[in-house]
Amino acid sequence: MKLIYGTYNPSKLTSMIKMLDGLNIEITGIGSVDFKLSQSEETGKDPLANAIEKATTYYEQLKIPVFSCDTGLFFEGVEEEDQPGVLVKRLHGEDLSYREMVDYYSNLAAKYGGKLTAYYKNGICLYIDNDHIYKYDGEDICSEKFYIVDKPHEKYREGFPLDTLSVDMETMKYYYDLESEKSESLGVISGFREFFIRSLDDYLHRKNI
């Protein structure tokens, strides 16, 4: 099945294609669409609400199967004012650039002793048509816990700015230095794959009834 991934972020597109490798799914980003799409305001209070809002906005314009994801970043043991949640890129009402995000979160880690225990909570919505809308935010698409540290790795990848601050709790190595799929997925590959397998199986079953 051909699906549009509701993102203009090439790094996120590449990462999702890798996670779904081997499935009968062909993914392209909305950058491949030959007209400008209106984007949602992302007013949801959690990642799933924002994912639904984005997928709905794009489907209403494209009228072809589209899916959207949203992510919230959460820290353990921080003051409420330092908890980003779904506002990972927004600080005091201002959108941060990717480089500004690295500076902000490295300084925040320094404030709490050099590292923060963190995890990402994800939400996904697959909008095939008005009768087949699949949404999910289960724990198997949450990342494992990891550290955000105050010293950036020398490697930096546009689109995933906080990867340069992310350290595996077990090995205490930067994810960039791990030689495995874990280095890019933070443990969520199987959860996303299962979501698509489950959703598309249900869709095809209902379609053939």
> From CA 93, how far away is CA 170, in angstroms rounded?
35
CATH code (residue 121): 3.90.950.10
pLDDT for position 51: 97
pLDDT for position 90: 87
Whole-model pTM over 0.85: yes
**pLDDT of 87-142, one tens digit each?**
999 887 788 999 999 999 999 999 999 999 999 999 999 999 999 999 999 999 99
Overall domain count for the chain: 1
**pLDDT of 24-72, one tens digit each?**
999 999 988 888 899 888 888 999 999 999 999 999 999 999 999 999 9
> Interior CA angle at 118 toward 142 and 20, to 5°?
30
User: Residue 28 belongs to what domain range?
Assistant: 2-208
Beta-strand runs (E) in 26-139 = 26-29, 66-75, 90-91, 94-95, 115-129, 132-136
Q: 64 is written with which tokens?
A: 């072809």
The one-letter amino acid at 48: L
